[in-house]
Chain A
Amino acid sequence: MNIELRGISKRFGSVQANRNISLDIRASEVLGLLGENGAGKSTLMNVLSGLYQPDSGDILIDGTPVRFDGPGDSIAAGIGMVHQHFMLVPVFSVVENVILGVEPTGSADFLDLAAARDQVQAINARYGMDVPSDVLIEDLPVGIQQRVEILKVLFRSADVLILDEPTAVLTPQEVEAFFGIVRALRDAGKAIVFITHKLHEIIEIADKVSVLRQGEIVGGGVPSEFSEADLAEMMVGRPVSFSVGRGTATPGEDVLDLRDVTLVDASLEVRLHQIAMSVRAGEIVGIAGVQGNGQTELVEAITGLAPVASGQVMFAGTDITASSVRQRHCMGIAHIPEDRQKSGMVSAFTVAENMVLNSYYDDSVARGVQIDWHRAEEQAAAACLKFDVRTPSVFLDAGGLSGGNQQKMVVARELERGVRLVVASQPTRGVDVGSIEFIHKQLVACRDAGNAVLIISSELDEILDLSDRIYVMYEGQITAEFDNSSSQADRGAIGLAMAGANRTAAA
């Protein structure tokens, strides 16, 4: 099945998200779509999936013009989309989410969950996805939730798959497995649109690439003819440097010190096992590890979101093990959460309101029991400008921002406050190359100002690029430590540790 988009335009209020875009999507081909945050990629794909109706322009399937009045029409036409922000019902099980809208039924509209489970498991097995059927979505880590999204599309046996930043939440290993699936699908004759901010992924998997900037197509071609730098420049409109010039660190006192911290979950399983680690002032420490090895719990233990079972969390010499989240926050711990939509922002609040979520009670914006909105808005506008959060106004709902801009908004909020320790979990998830450069520079500046920075990332490149010291986490333990300050640590050794090679040594 081939799809042609002809002259698609779409406007939201004052924002022209798509301007006269034409695009060919062909069977047995992976089309990579690049563009900076807010360039209009998601909007264009939402038009194709029938969620938005274009202001003008046509969609042609195999040469015949079609009209999608809703996602139902586009699904019926064989188009499936994996959305950038998960479209999963948190309190439904995996099967229920996968079958929603195309449920197998018996008589009297009876939901045939058993049949559904079998079908889901069959797809699961075919692509080696290993997703449990009956667990609730809200209890699954993001990486697995992503696979559920893919299962959903495959379950509908779509001919055209739109994947909006599917790899943003995957670990490098998962990305490899995922690319295996994408290749298999392409070889099976499916047309695939693949959106990402990771240029090497485009070069690796895409057969063709198109680049969007400010709602317009600005270039494209066969990816192998471009270097990453070319693509980045085409996207952003200026040359981008991929690694921050990071001076040597001058570490001081311990700011964060974990002493044999053990964390146990509700079902009494050990999630963190006697973690001992420290982050010093003027130092960036990176946590490398395959997602799901206790990083989330580590962040929860540090920020106070979860109580620890034993051990101590020391912050600047004081024991904060029993301190509340607010107390830690006021002491100067900033937290960039891994899932911005779940725990980083309130979609239905305006950008300005989101910007004061961590400071609405203190002198910077509060006057007694009132919030000085005038000041809050000024500060928000300034922060948006500084962090390049692209929004026409700070009075718009944050949910209307593009994914990358939401991320930048969260980062801006956390870094703009005076802090001593930044706990940054996946700080550049979903952010375009230009903005990654900027966020990285901000984190390094934070370090150079004498603060401690802890970075948790599933991107080993990001860890290697920024960190002065690297810990590797495996199965809830710290299994290795590497020095990365003067010369780069041994990538291979880190990779091995991430895969569990050191575990006996550390326990």
Chain B
Amino acid sequence: MADQTQMDPARLAASQPVANVTDWRRIISGFTLVMLAAIVLFLLDAPWDSVSTFRISRPRDTWAVGNLVVPSQLINTLAAIILAFLGTRLFLRGGGRWTGLSLGVGLIILAMAFLVWATAGKAISLTGMLQATVVRAVPIALAALGGILCERVAVINIAIEGMLLAGAFAGALFGSLMGGWAGIICAMLTGGVFGLLLAVLVITYRVDQIIAGVVINLFVLGLTSYVSSQVFAEFRWLNKATPFRAFKIPVLGDIPLIGPVLFNQNLFVYGALIMVTLSTYYLFYTRMGLRARAVGEHPRAADTLGIDVIKTRYAHVIAAGMVAGFGGAWFTLGSVGRFDENMTFGRGFIGLAAMIFGRWHPLGALAAALVFGFADSLQQKLSILNTPIPSEFLSMAPYIATIVVVAGLVGRARPPAAIGKAYTKD
């Protein structure tokens, strides 16, 4: 007699019949890894006697560490072997959760190999590069966080870009008039006001969410461009804020490598890390977070349980605006102190991409933002290092990273179920 299958409710739970379906993701990932191995082996080759030098500390640091010097070709040959091994392994067996992991590890190895190759016979500051990575990730992570707060309650926020720009503008203007802190507060308030505007449009008046977002973006772009070209050009003192300097956190800031990267940065970096942590706690570990997510997934169910869908959505969209406003202030108060026309340059949209790659999770979005930031700073360093790759290709790096990450690592990402839909009672 064939053995009997037990079917208790809890076990039935897991029944989603997808067995013996070809796992294309696994196969494609395996193939990609093998290709990458070939690229590393044949394209990224350096003379056997060359070494790559990575500087970690500066001579004046408290705890100075020596430079990291590695034999270029040996490292890259090893990298190619590991990539090939990971790829073949995916072909032969496994898959499932190994697919994403292998691809992730593979990409890190690739980035490493690339760096080693580019620095062969030269030297770069590893610390400086990672520091730049974090700095560049900040506006993207904050934009993503703004997106997450909105989308978790099912409001699409295309207006993030406009909110960043408005925050940058308000930061420069009020920072010039009343000092940096006032600038930040005003940037957040301005972001909040645009959040409120979006909320009124899409929640109360049920305007299409994409259209409302685009309208806000165009409005902010037009307004800030006008003011900066007509007013700021005339009265320069209105656009001359003192940016926030980096401040070192005692002791922690002296740790080699990690210190400068994480604990010797400006207010925006700390702010972003705190906001990401807080919102992770809020969304997934608190009562209000649970309610917010319910509103995004099944607003009617939330309503029948006495949760005020409309209020929840308003609160989150406004909060998202404030987060984006803070992120916008990074462009002015966090770097040069001056506002330029359209200076956010699509970072809000990249932030939305990071939100999706991060699966609507603040930590995921931060990780995605760091990938963008790394690609961004890599590109910058490499153009200094004089590699044979044309700079146009280098500036594609962040976007190529995006595509690879989405295709391979993200897998099944699912937005909140009620996304984009206005809520009506009857």
Q: Does B208 contact A (CB under 8 A)?
A: no
Minimum C-beta distance from B94 to chain A (A):
15
| B285 and A140 within 8 A (CB) | no
Chain B 272-312 interface residues, beta-carbon cutoff 8 Å to A? 285-291, 293-294, 297-298, 300-308
B residues less than 8 Å from A265 (CB atoms) = 14-19
Q: Does A385 contact B (CB under 8 A)?
A: no
Q: Does B20 contact A (CB under 8 A)?
A: yes
| B15 and A52 within 8 A (CB) | no
Give the distance in Å from the alpha carbon of A274 to the alpha carbon of B1 in the complex: 12
Q: Does B11 contact A (CB under 8 A)?
A: yes
B residues less than 8 Å from A300 (CB atoms) = 17
| B290 and A271 within 8 A (CB) | no
Chain B 234-268 interface residues, beta-carbon cutoff 8 Å to A? none
The contact of A139 among B16, B289, B414, by CB within 8 Å, is B16
Task: For chain B, give the interface size range.
Answer: 35 or more
Minimum C-beta distance from A215 to chain B (A):
15
Minimum C-beta distance from A111 to chain B (A):
6
Known contacts A70-B308, A307-B19: does B417 contact A91 (CB below 8 Å)?
Answer: yes
Known contacts A72-B306, A109-B286, A111-B286: does B20 contact A309 (CB below 8 Å)?
Answer: yes
Q: Which of B4, B12, B13 has the most CB of A within 10 A?
A: B12
Minimum C-beta distance from A501 to chain B (A):
14
Name the CB-closest residue of B to A17: B426
| A266 and B18 within 8 A (CB) | yes
Q: Does B6 contact A (CB under 8 A)?
A: yes
Name the CB-closest residue of A to B298: A89
| A71 and B303 within 8 A (CB) | yes
| B17 and A263 within 8 A (CB) | yes
Q: Which of B10, B16, B290, B297 has the most CB of A within 10 A?
A: B290
| B13 and A105 within 8 A (CB) | no
Q: Does B92 contact A (CB under 8 A)?
A: no
| A475 and B297 within 8 A (CB) | no
Q: Does A292 contact B (CB under 8 A)?
A: yes
Give the distance in Å from the alpha carbon of A51 to the alpha carbon of B423 in the complex: 13
Give the distance in Å from the alpha carbon of A267 to the alpha carbon of B15 in the complex: 7
Name the CB-closest residue of B to A51: B304
Give the distance in Å from the alpha carbon of A293 to the alpha carbon of B234 in the complex: 78
Chain A 399-436 interface residues, beta-carbon cutoff 8 Å to B? none
Give the distance in Å from the alpha carbon of A294 to the alpha carbon of B7 in the complex: 9
| A140 and B291 within 8 A (CB) | no
Chain B 381-426 interface residues, beta-carbon cutoff 8 Å to A? 414, 417, 421, 425-426
Q: Does B9 contact A (CB under 8 A)?
A: yes
| A105 and B287 within 8 A (CB) | yes
Q: Does B5 contact A (CB under 8 A)?
A: yes
| B287 and A111 within 8 A (CB) | yes
Known contacts A130-B9, A263-B17, A271-B5: does B304 contact A111 (CB below 8 Å)?
Answer: no
Q: Is the interface of A mostly helix, strand, loop or mixed?
A: loop
A-B contact count (CB 8 A): 161
Name the CB-closest residue of A to B305: A101
B residues less than 8 Å from A76 (CB atoms) = 306
Of A25-33, A80-88, A200-208, the one with at least 4 CB within 8 A of chain B? A80-88
Chain A 75-100 interface residues, beta-carbon cutoff 8 Å to B? 75-76, 81, 83, 86-92, 96, 99-100
Interface 1/0 per residue, A46-81 and B, CB below 8 Å:
000101100000000000000000111101100001
Chain A 144-175 interface residues, beta-carbon cutoff 8 Å to B? 144, 152
| B14 and A507 within 8 A (CB) | no
Chain A 305-326 interface residues, beta-carbon cutoff 8 Å to B? 306-307, 309
The contact of B9 among A75, A96, A141, by CB within 8 Å, is A141
Q: Does A504 contact B (CB under 8 A)?
A: yes
The contact of A101 among B10, B16, B291, B417, by CB within 8 Å, is B291
How many residues of chain A are within 8 Å of chain B by beta carbon?
66
| B13 and A140 within 8 A (CB) | yes
Chain A 266-325 interface residues, beta-carbon cutoff 8 Å to B? 266-271, 273-274, 292-294, 297, 300, 306-307, 309
A residues less than 8 Å from B294 (CB atoms) = 89, 92, 100
Q: Does A264 contact B (CB under 8 A)?
A: yes
| A103 and B290 within 8 A (CB) | yes
A residues less than 8 Å from B14 (CB atoms) = 139, 265-267, 269
Give the distance in Å from the alpha carbon of A15 to the alpha carbon of B4 in the complex: 53
Minimum C-beta distance from B97 to chain A (A):
13
Interface 1/0 per residue, A355-376 and B, CB below 8 Å:
0000000000000000000000
| A110 and B285 within 8 A (CB) | yes
Give the distance in Å from the alpha carbon of A503 to the alpha carbon of B5 in the complex: 11
Minimum C-beta distance from B249 to chain A (A):
24
| A139 and B425 within 8 A (CB) | no
Name the CB-closest residue of B to A72: B306
Q: Does A123 contact B (CB under 8 A)?
A: no
Known contacts A89-B301, A100-B291: does B6 contact A475 (CB below 8 Å)?
Answer: yes
| A504 and B1 within 8 A (CB) | yes
Name the CB-closest residue of A to B14: A267
Name the CB-closest residue of B to A265: B15
The contact of B7 among A152, A268, A293, A307, by CB within 8 Å, is A293
Give the distance in Å from the alpha carbon of A144 to the alpha carbon of B13 in the complex: 10
A residues less than 8 Å from B298 (CB atoms) = 87-90
A residues less than 8 Å from B9 (CB atoms) = 130-132, 140-141, 143-144, 292
A residues less than 8 Å from B10 (CB atoms) = 132, 135
Name the CB-closest residue of B to A101: B305
Give the distance in Å from the alpha carbon of A71 to the alpha carbon of B288 in the complex: 18
Q: Which of A70, A96, A101, A152 has the most CB of B within 10 A?
A: A101
Give the distance in Å from the alpha carbon of A49 to the alpha carbon of B301 in the complex: 13
Q: Does A114 contact B (CB under 8 A)?
A: no
The contact of B13 among A90, A91, A132, A271, by CB within 8 Å, is A132
Minimum C-beta distance from B310 to chain A (A):
10
Known contacts A87-B304, A132-B9, A475-B7: does B21 contact A307 (CB below 8 Å)?
Answer: yes
| 10 contacting pairs across A/B (C-beta < 8 A) | A86-B301, A89-B302, A96-B290, A105-B287, A136-B13, A269-B11, A270-B5, A274-B2, A307-B20, A309-B20
Write the residues of chain B forming the contact surface with A, with a CB cutoff of 8 angstroms. Answer: 1-2, 4-7, 9-21, 285-291, 293-294, 297-298, 300-308, 414, 417, 421, 425-426
- Known contacts A52-B425, A105-B287, A108-B286; 13 additional CB pairs below 8 A are A88-B298, A91-B297, A100-B301, A103-B291, A140-B12, A144-B9, A264-B20, A265-B14, A267-B14, A271-B15, A292-B7, A307-B21, A503-B4
Top-7 shortest CB links A-B = A72-B306, A101-B305, A306-B17, A87-B301, A109-B286, A265-B15, A139-B13
